[in-house]
Amino acid sequence: MSAPRFITLEGGEGAGKSTQITRLADALKAAGHSVTQTREPGGSPGAEAIRALLVTGEAARWTPLGETLLHFAARQDHLERTIRPALARGDFVLCDRFIDSTFAYQGAAQGLDPAHIKALSELVIGPTMPDLTFILDLPVEIGLARAASRGGEDRYERMGAAFHETLRQTFLTRARAEPDRCVIIDASAAPDEVARQIWHSVTLRLPY
């Protein structure tokens, strides 16, 4: 079995993706692997500039299509300048959010036709899809409470419980539709247990 070099973490607000991606990066480095840790939107200078447009301002700042185009503009720069070069070097690439978030946030929750997202994915992402995706799942009320406790609420966190429940169900549906790529993790568990489950899933796929 080939190693899952491109790994993404997905889930709703407050699911603990940032914590777990750092823990996974540390574990891979301790095992002797080179790691590039990144995020979306962002992960390259151009993409980070676009991120500032996406996560600030009023909740209705962008139309669903306009927002999606911004995400894909950021993603194209991210892929070309960060992800693909790192994969070419043989790094593990760990990314906090990727295409599943677009289908959840701009597709299901904001009503953009998924066919448009699929067409943009084929153009921008092509074959550079994640090898392994962890869906960090937890009840919406817990996730939003965790996010609020961090302070500095962003525009996505202000979009209401119904919006976030749609996100949750979309992530779960996508995971069940692609079981070879996606692993659902109970993110309401203690951080150590979540990290243990993620590392177990990764090591099952490593070629040693």
Q: What is the pLDDT along the chain (208 residues), one digit of tens a residue?
A: 467 899 999 998 889 999 999 999 999 999 999 999 999 999 999 999 999 999 888 878 899 999 999 999 999 999 999 999 999 999 999 999 999 999 999 999 999 999 999 999 999 999 999 999 999 999 998 988 888 787 656 666 677 788 999 999 999 999 999 999 999 999 999 999 999 999 999 999 887 5
Q: Measure the CA–CA gap between 185 and 137, rounded to whole angstroms.
A: 6
Instruction: Give how far Cα 193 sits from Cα of 20, 35, 146, 188, 200, Å.
Output: 10, 22, 18, 10, 10
What is the structure's pLDDT at 206? 84
> Is 47:103 a contact under the CB 8 Å cutoff?
no
Class of domain 6-205 (CATH, top level): alpha beta
Domain boundaries, the chain: 6-205
What is the structure's pLDDT at 1? 44
What is the structure's pLDDT at 58? 82
Instruction: Give how far Cα 10 sits from Cα of 63, 93, 102, 132, Å.
Output: 23, 14, 11, 11
Claim: this prediction has a pTM higher than 0.75: yes
> Is 43:95 a contact under the CB 8 Å cutoff?
yes
Closest C-alpha to 105, from 70, 74, 79, 68 = 68
Residue 3, token pair as written in the block: 């190693």
Instruction: Give how far Cα 127 sits from Cα of 10, 13, 136, Å.
Output: 19, 28, 24
